[in-house]
């Protein structure tokens, strides 16, 4: 066990020792979807980090086929579901219904969805990695959405480049290209950058290297370090606190700040993207955002933007029919 792993385990022990009975029970929290904070956030986090997928216990035949990269079995299963749906639906609706069934599949105590399971499979059965990618492409082509979340509210995209435990940028790129959002918030209100920056042993060069590469990928793909979690902490805050031990992280953030500043109002105020048409805040006429149909940039930026905007509760986007109510 590495020093980094020992420190993570010790921090987990300390968290359990200081656990309180405040808030709702774990069973109640499992039934909710809202952002958690305080004791409730820690209660769900402890469960999700302590429970593990046990293939022999948690996977059905389809789950085992996905784990082993059995493309033929999975393809036949998907075709069977389409055929069953076509008995009552048209061909197009049958495909959509089968895709929705796959999207809603969950396995194990942390309710692992299909793309997350593929990410785990790449770690557990690395010899079948190419087959796992083939399955991922099959699901994407079948229009199975990539934004499914496990019990912690985490997507496969967030898991596969968080560096804890996986670091699979090729899979991250595949999911991103299929519509994955790098700024997705989990049940604790945090984004993946929080996990990337949590380096428990800054003397471990490999851990620091992976964290630096992951943060750079995050920023290059529209990541924002000013999104606060349920308790009000942001990745930027964490970078500043770690600056004395891991200066490379804050340097990356400051470099990205300069790049986005140079773009001015020509890029999204949250993610820095400028490759598509942006919508403008109807009140201040300055802040611009990606369309809500593609990303939740406006909603995620509101806690910060409201301090600068003259809006009094409603932000209206030009060229967009609906109002966004806060």
- How far, in Å, CA of 162 to CA of 299, rounded? 23
pLDDT in tens, 56-69: 999 999 999 999 99
28 HSE (CA, 13 A, CB side): 8
Give the least confident one: 35-49, 69-83, 109-123, 312-326: 312-326
Which residue do the tokens 């930026």 mark?
301
Which residue do the tokens 């209100």 mark?
189
Are the C-beta atoms of 281 and 315 separated by less than 8 Å?
yes
pLDDT band (50, 70, 90) for residue 3: low
**What's the mean pLDDT in 301-319?**
64
What pLDDT score does 322 carry?
36
Nearest residue to 172 (alpha-carbon basis) of 133, 130, 131, 212: 133
Query: H helices of the chain, where?
Result: 3-17, 26-30, 38-50, 55-58, 61-67, 71-86, 91-104, 114-124, 129-141, 156-160, 169-177, 192-197, 205-220, 235-241, 247-263, 297-305
pLDDT in tens, 139-197: 999 999 999 999 999 999 999 988 877 889 999 999 999 999 999 999 999 999 999 99
Q: What is the mean pLDDT of the chain?
A: 87
First to last CA, the chain: 47
pLDDT band (50, 70, 90) for residue 10: very low
What pLDDT score does 286 carry?
82
Q: What percent of the chain has pLDDT over 70?
A: 89
pLDDT in tens, 251-289: 999 999 999 999 888 889 889 988 778 888 877 888 889
Which three-class secondary structure state does DSSP give residue 323?
strand
What pLDDT score does 14 carry?
45
Cβ-Cβ contacts under 8 Å for 259 (sequence gap 6 or more): 272
Cβ-Cβ contacts under 8 Å for 148 (sequence gap 6 or more): 103, 113, 114, 115, 116, 155, 156
pLDDT band (50, 70, 90) for residue 102: very high
- How far, in Å, CA of 135 to CA of 272, rounded? 32
- How far, in Å, CA of 146 to CA of 290, rounded? 19
Selection from 24-33, 68-77, 220-229 with the highest mean pLDDT? 68-77
Whether the per-residue pLDDT at 242 is higher than 70: the answer is: yes
């Amino acid at each position: 066990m590495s020093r980094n792993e020992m420190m993570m385990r010790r921090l987990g022990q300390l968290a359990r020792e200081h656990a309180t009975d405040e808030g709702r029970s774990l069973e109640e929290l499992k039934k909710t979807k809202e952002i958690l904070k305080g004791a409730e956030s820690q209660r769900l986090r402890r469960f999700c980090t302590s429970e593990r997928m046990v293939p022999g216990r948690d996977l059905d035949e389809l789950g085992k086929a996905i784990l082993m990269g059995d493309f033929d079995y999975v393809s036949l299963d998907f075709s069977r579901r389409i055929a069953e749906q076509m008995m009552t639906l048209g061909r197009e609706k049958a495909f959509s219904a089968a895709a929705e069934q796959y999207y809603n599949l969950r396995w194990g105590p942390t309710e692992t969805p299909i793309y997350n399971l593929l990410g785990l499979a790449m770690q557990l059965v690395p010899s079948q990695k190419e087959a796992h990618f083939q399955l991922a492409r099959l699901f994407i082509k079948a229009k199975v959405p990539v934004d499914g979340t496990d019990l912690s509210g985490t997507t496969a995209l967030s898991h596969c480049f968080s560096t804890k435990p996986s670091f699979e940028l090729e899979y991250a790129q595949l999911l991103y290209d299929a519509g994955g959002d790098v700024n997705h918030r989990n049940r604790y209100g945090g984004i993946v950058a929080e996990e990337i920056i949590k380096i428990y042993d800054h003397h471990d060069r490999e851990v620091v290297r992976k964290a630096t590469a992951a943060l750079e990928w995050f920023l290059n793909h529209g990541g924002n370090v000013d999104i606060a979690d349920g308790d009000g902490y942001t990745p930027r805050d964490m970078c500043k606190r770690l600056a004395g031990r891991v200066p490379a992280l804050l340097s990356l953030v400051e470099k990205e700040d300069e790049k986005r500043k140079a773009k001015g109002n020509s890029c999204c105020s949250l993610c820095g993207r400028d490759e598509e048409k942006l919508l403008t805040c109807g009140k201040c006429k300055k802040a611009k955002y990606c369309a809500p149909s593609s990303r939740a940039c406006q909603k995620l930026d509101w806690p910060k933007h409201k301090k600068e905007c003259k809006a009094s509760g409603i932000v209206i986007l030009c060229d967009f029919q609906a109002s966004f109510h806060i």
